Amino acid sequence: ISFYFAAPMTESLYLALTLATLYAAARQRWWLAAICGLLATLARSQGALLVGVAGLILLEQVWDRRWTVESLWMAAKTAARRGWMLAIMPLGVVGFQLYRDSLGLPSLDAVFLEYSYVILVNPIEGVLLCLRHIVTQPDEAVRNLDVWAFGISFVLSLGLLISRRHRRLPLIAYTLGYWAVYTGKMNYYWGTDELFFVQSFARYTLALFPIWVLVADGLRRGGFWVRIAGVGVLMLALAFFSALFPLALVGP
């Protein structure tokens, strides 16, 4: 994640603003959370989903944990009264679209399809297409970092459900929700109409910070050699990705 923050990409700013949004929500500073969420949405349009995550944090704070209609209704009314300003978060998407229109730029659908060779599908179809690629192209899949990130991030996401310490509904919703969003973006082989996988999935999953908190907590709870091995792997990964980034841009 430290590499991710340093990389000159919109995801770096997006992740920083996402963390600021959720931290402000946890501290019950709702206007700050709303503004940070709005800015996160300007950085990456999927930031609009943060309104739901922040809403769950607010609901968790005001709910008395009784599963009755009256209790849930009172919690919803209290949450709406305290956190109505969170509704401005998705306006970042509207502002971004208006800005593009003012410059006469092509629609995002056209950019995705004609320049990036990307098509948006529902997440279930995306998962099935990814699995089909892994099964039909095993040699290519083994060498593909995005395939590894696809599997590892899914397993770690399930770990959030299993771990009592990390089983927080807002963080689970954030992780699984965005994982589903990322699997709904399928790439064609460049210049063709043949689908293959989610390009840059490894980069996207770095924004799923709850699973990396889960990994860090596991290392902290492990023995001395587990922590040493974990830090060694993380340092190698940092060196690898730091080298891969400029190589991907300018070549060897």
242 within some domain: no
Q: Which domain holds residue 74?
A: 1-104
The verdict on 118 and 200 lying in the same domain is: yes
pLDDT in tens, 140-156: 888 888 888 899 999 99
Task: Calculate mean pLDDT across residues 26-45.
Answer: 94
The verdict on 99 and 2 lying in the same domain is: yes
Q: Which of 52, 54, 53 is nearest to 29 (CA)?
A: 54
Neighbours of 31 (CB within 10 A): 12
The verdict on 88 and 119 lying in the same domain is: no
The count of structural domains within the chain is 2
146 within some domain: yes
Task: Calculate mean pLDDT across residues 194-213.
Answer: 84
For residues 63 and 72, is the Cβ–Cβ distance under 8 A?
yes
pLDDT confidence band for 210 (50 / 70 / 90) = very high
Residue 165 φ then ψ, to 5°: -70, -35
**pLDDT exceeding 70 applies to what percent of the chain?**
92
Rounded Cα distance between 96 and 29, Å, is 25
Rounded Cα distance between 223 and 194, Å, is 47
The angle formed by the CA atoms of residues 127, 21 and 26, to the nearest 5 degrees, is: 105
249 within some domain: no
DSSP string for 162-186 = H-TTT--HHHHHHHHHHHHHHHTEE
The verdict on 96 and 116 lying in the same domain is: no
3-state DSSP call for residue 199? coil
For residues 240 and 2, is the Cβ–Cβ distance under 8 A?
no
Rounded Cα distance between 208 and 158, Å, is 13
238 within some domain: no
For residues 230 and 219, is the Cβ–Cβ distance under 8 A?
yes
* pLDDT for 157: 92
The rounded Cα 89 to chain-centroid distance in angstroms is 16
94 within some domain: yes
pLDDT confidence band for 113 (50 / 70 / 90) = confident
DSSP element (H, E) containing 13 = helix 10-26
The verdict on 52 and 123 lying in the same domain is: no
pLDDT confidence band for 107 (50 / 70 / 90) = confident
147 within some domain: yes
Q: Which of 188, 212, 190, 185 is nearest to 201 (CA)?
A: 185
The verdict on 100 and 110 lying in the same domain is: no
The verdict on 134 and 43 lying in the same domain is: no
The verdict on 178 and 110 lying in the same domain is: yes
The verdict on 113 and 216 lying in the same domain is: yes
- Token digits for 204? 């996207």
Rounded Cα distance between 151 and 186, Å, is 16
**pLDDT exceeding 90 applies to what percent of the chain?**
40
Please give the mean pLDDT across all residues of the chain: 86
Task: Indicate the residue among 89, 104, 119 that finishes a domain.
Answer: 104
The verdict on 99 and 110 lying in the same domain is: no
Task: Calculate mean pLDDT across residues 161-187.
Answer: 91
Task: Calculate mean pLDDT across residues 41-58.
Answer: 93
The verdict on 110 and 207 lying in the same domain is: yes
Beta-carbon contacts of 64 under 8 Å, excluding residues fewer than 6 positions away, are: 71, 75
